[in-house]
Chains A and B, each alone.
Chain A
Amino acid sequence: MVKEKKENIIDSNLQRKHKLRTKGVKVWYDDFMAIKGIDMNIKANKVTAFIGPSGCGKSTFLRLFNRMNDYVDGFRLEGEVTIDGENIYKKKVNVEQLRKQVGMVFQKPNPFPKSIFENVAYGLKIQGLKDKKFLQEKVERSLKRVALWDEVKDDLNKSALALSGGQQQRLCIARALAVEPSIILMDEPTSALDPLSTSKIEELIYELKKDYTIVIVTHNMQQASRVSDYTAFFYLGELIEYDKTKKLFTNPEKKQTENYITGRFG
């Protein structure tokens, strides 16, 4: 949909700029076509927001980038999804390795029923890292990164379930950061949180984009306009419009986009 002419140019410069790309992506769940052919380039070190009404395919599309749809019964994909120019749906791609590179934060905070420390160290431990000191450093750095360290540093061995919802979500982000991904996918990360916790997470997203490529699905258009550099509007499995956030919200090109952002449907 967007500047299709440029896509044919294989240019390393472009690849660096375009962290994530999709080409002719279609997704089915059994007979239902959830994504109807999307071409998209997502820029590195920017925050890209996906908006659209429920069931528009934005979450499905987000989950393509770390192959979380693989577990859904009847999932089928056509087209190409690439990260740094590498097709991640090729046979020899190691899904576990991919997911270490692409972290994910979910709709509801979902800490494991373990201690705070164990939660953050989980990703490192499953890679076989055991060195106590190394783990401690990593955990501390990740927790500091999400501004949770001061709140929990004395309670690292307490259950993560004892934290508040907002703290839990920041813990989940710290957990994702600990394995040093380059991309973070966020699937409506604040929809279950109160306004104060939400603004903390939003600040954090702003902080993180220096080092990470962030893609965030959100129901909340104010949030999209606050945190993102680019916004993509999805409707019925199609990418309707994709542009700089400012442009999309102030001067959308498509009628459907305008209807949606002005609250006429959705």
Chain B
Amino acid sequence: MRRIKELVIEKALLTSALITVAITAGIILVLSFEAFAFFREVSIVDFFTDTEWTPLFSNKHYGILPLLSGTLLTSFIAVAFAVPVGLSISIYISEYAPRSFRTSIKPALELLAAVPTVVYGFFALTVVTPFLQSFIPGLSGFNALSAGLVMGIMIIPFVSSLSEDALHAVPDSLREASFGMGSTKLQNAFRVMVPAASSGIVVSVILAISRAIGETMIVAIAAGQQPRLTLDPTVPVETITAYIVQVSLGDVQHGSLEYRTIFAAGITLFVFTFLLNTVSYRIRKKFQEKYE
């Protein structure tokens, strides 16, 4: 009797664990099913080569490039801001600051990632954009620059926290060796610590990129809703995520081609983040083995 009970419990626990696999399967099925229906009507070549995205207008174009460029532009700005800052923070905390400082500052920084993104969007729109407009005259009310920068603030803790963990895991003996040779802290940090912790740092950067690409509310609020193929950070753009929000807010008929566009856009987004996450997972696994 007891054996049967144990077995039933184990199977129930296993089922719960398998639900996570079902979620992934569900995501892939749903996205590909709707995207497949979409590609029966829109050629996949047009999808990747047409430079206009106007599914909601009468003159319809289904080129993902403008949404992709919007996504990459805002993400690039965010990452270009967050990586140097986050990396500097992690080096400062692990190599310069007193040890006690570490335990108090890390949770404080992680608060940056706890703020709801809709709140950041408001910040970008009502504070950062007007501030930037005061010295960039041509900056429009919705733009990739301010959305990207604020997104950068949000992902700082992703970079700083994981990189700091990686630096912290480098054995002290290497620090001693390099100080013993007469390195300054800076030389020690960049010539010994950063190379030794490079895989962990790379993982943190990849996760930050993935996070930026999938971020929705900040760009939906502050970057605009005008898909255009541009690298100009001062004009309104639209990201993949913002487009999905835009369609969701409207009244689009289920089963229509417009409805399916959000799944076609969604699967593009999913493939990008999936690749980034898989790469970072691989590196992380290898990295763990190295130190254990």
Contacts and interface: CB of A to CB of B under 8 A. Distances in A.
Direct contact of A and B (CB under 8 A): yes
Contact of B176 (A97, A106, A175, A176): A106
A175 B196 CA distance: 18
Interface string B151-192: 000000000000000000001011111111111100100011
B253 to A, nearest CB: 59
Interface string A91-132: 000011111100110101011111000000011011100000
A121 B44 CA distance: 55
Interface majority SS (helix, strand, loop, mixed), chain B: helix
Given A126-B187, A126-B191, A110 B176 contact: yes
A96 B173 contact: no
B98 A73 contact: yes
Nearest to A101: B182
Nearest to B98: A73
A68 interface: yes
B183 A96 contact: yes
Contacts of B184: 96, 126
A100 B192 CA distance: 17
A97 B174 contact: no
Contacts, number: 65
Nearest to A109: B173
A66 interface: yes
B191 A73 contact: no
A138 to B, nearest CB: 13
A71 interface: yes
Given A113-B196, A114-B195, A123 B177 contact: no
A179 interface: yes
Nearest to A95: B182
Interface of A: 66, 68, 71, 73, 95-100, 103-104, 106, 108, 110-114, 122-123, 125-127, 172, 175-176, 179
Interface of B: 98-99, 171, 173-184, 187, 191-192, 195-196
25 contacts: A71-B175, A71-B179, A96-B183, A97-B182, A100-B181, A100-B182, A106-B176, A106-B177, A106-B180, A110-B171, A110-B173, A110-B177, A112-B174, A112-B177, A112-B196, A114-B195, A122-B178, A122-B181, A122-B191, A123-B181, A125-B191, A126-B191, A172-B177, A175-B177, A175-B181
